[in-house]
A = this chain, B = another copy of it.
Amino acid sequence: MSTDAGNSDIVVMKFGGTSVAGPEQIKRAAGRIVAAREAGRRVIAVLSARGKTTDDLVAQALEISERPDSREMDMLLSTGERISCALCAMAIHDMGHKAISLTGSQAGIVTDSSHTRAKIIDVRADRIEQTLGEDRIVLVAGFQGVSTESRDVTTLGRGGSDTTAVALAAALGATVCEIYTDVAGVFSADPRIVPNARKLPMVSYEEMLEMSASGAKVLQLRSVEYARNHGVRVHCRSSFEDGPGTLVVSEQETEQENMEQPFVTAVTHSDGEARVTLNGVRDEPGVAGRIFTALADAGVNVDVIIQNEPLGDEKLADLSFTVDRSDLATAAETVSGLDVSRGVRTDERIGKVSIVGAGMRSHPGVAARVFEVLGAEGINIEMISTSPIKISCVISADRVPDAVKALHQAFELGADAVRPEDPTGADHRPTVRG
């Protein structure tokens, strides 16, 4: 992967599905692209499929087959982004600029052969560089690549266009990777639950990783990892309004910006989880390994895991874990087939609330405060998972909004919460969207 740090005038702009949904949105995106070009920058724009296109294509496949072949699924789904790019190129031409749309393959996005969830293994940006050199705007179909072995069309999984954009920004040494969506940035909590949630001017890669993993939908998790690993500055902003959004950058940079690091940056939540409990698991070496290897082989991502103290003469334990609700059937089927427990129970009515903040590292009392706040609200914590900069609590799904509001209030994350050291209330403290 070539990294040409000299291309300091290159910008990558990524537009999501709602930002290219109809002709007016496509023309607005084209206008932003042209404005960047007219400001003297060389522009690569990565586009997602229009609005509901991908859902429509999936529905067409399910009309044909209950379990569509994954290679053919990729051939099918990759058409959506190509349509967006071709249409946007037409709009740019009408504005008097030269643009060219490229498929993932033409753009040099080389992946492994894991159809429907391929990983980028190389970016061969020769054609993009040549096209930029011809004074053209380059539009790249997001979410897709070409497999290195069989030269087949691959896709990167839902939200993969973010990763396409970050990977191109890294390969071409772009100044910034701008991610345009229908929200204005990353917020201190989901504004639909917390009306006074604040837009965060800046968050670190590590914080953004934890937020994406714990429910924030503004950036795909893999794209944040990619950005961190390659030092790509990401700017999350609105395609419908002007003004800055949220910069996702290194922790050094956020620390320079915020002399006094706040304990907590944001509250995130997820209500799309489910829990599987294995009752009476024999407490023997290797049992847990077998369980979670089988789940991994079945493609199930496990989130929080707890096991209680083995009880009785037989040393039987209860083991619980959470998964994405769409994986529940597969997960339950997989562990039932292993025959390592006396029974398997499932619970679809669980949710998760998390607080994230790089400042937590130096403030060990945060967890206690979280438990105290939720306890005062009468919210039972069923499972806990922590990292140095995150505390997640699995709770009943119907209490998630209450938990988000209480934590956001308790840690004074709102736009009306004036920081003690900043009596002006100026908005330069980081915060998150859930």
Contacts and interface: CB of A to CB of B under 8 A. Distances in A.
Given A72-B86, A82-B79, A106-B151, A64 B100 contact: no
Contacts of A86: 61, 72-73, 75-76
Contacts of A78: 82
A247 interface: no
Contacts of A85: 75
Interface stretch (A87-95, A233-241, A300-308): A87-95
B65 A91 contact: yes
A25 to B, nearest CB: 11
A118 interface: no
A69 interface: yes
A87 B69 contact: no
Interface in A31-82: 57, 60-61, 63-66, 68-69, 71-73, 75-76, 78-79, 82
Interface residues of A, number: 35
A100 B296 CA distance: 28
A27 B82 contact: no
What is the total number of copies of this protein in its complex? 2
Given A27-B64, A75-B101, A106-B151, A69 B83 contact: no
Contact of A101 (B57, B72, B151): B72
Contacts of A120: none
Contact of A76 (B82, B93, B100): B82
A64 B26 CA distance: 8
A244 interface: no
Contacts of A79: 79, 82-83
A347 to B, nearest CB: 34
A56 B305 CA distance: 49
A72 B82 CA distance: 10
Nearest to A153: B103
B87 A82 contact: no
Shortest Cβ-Cβ A-B pairs, 10 listed: A76-B86, A79-B79, A75-B86, A23-B63, A65-B90, A72-B86, A72-B89, A68-B90, A69-B93, A64-B90
17 contacts: A23-B63, A57-B83, A60-B83, A60-B87, A61-B87, A61-B90, A64-B87, A65-B91, A65-B94, A69-B90, A71-B100, A72-B93, A76-B82, A76-B83, A76-B87, A79-B83, A103-B153
Interface of A: 23, 26-27, 57, 60-61, 63-66, 68-69, 71-73, 75-76, 78-79, 82-83, 85-87, 89-91, 93-94, 100-101, 103, 106, 151, 153
Given A65-B90, A65-B93, A73-B90, 10 more contacts: A23-B63, A65-B94, A66-B94, A69-B90, A72-B86, A75-B86, A76-B83, A79-B79, A79-B82, A103-B153
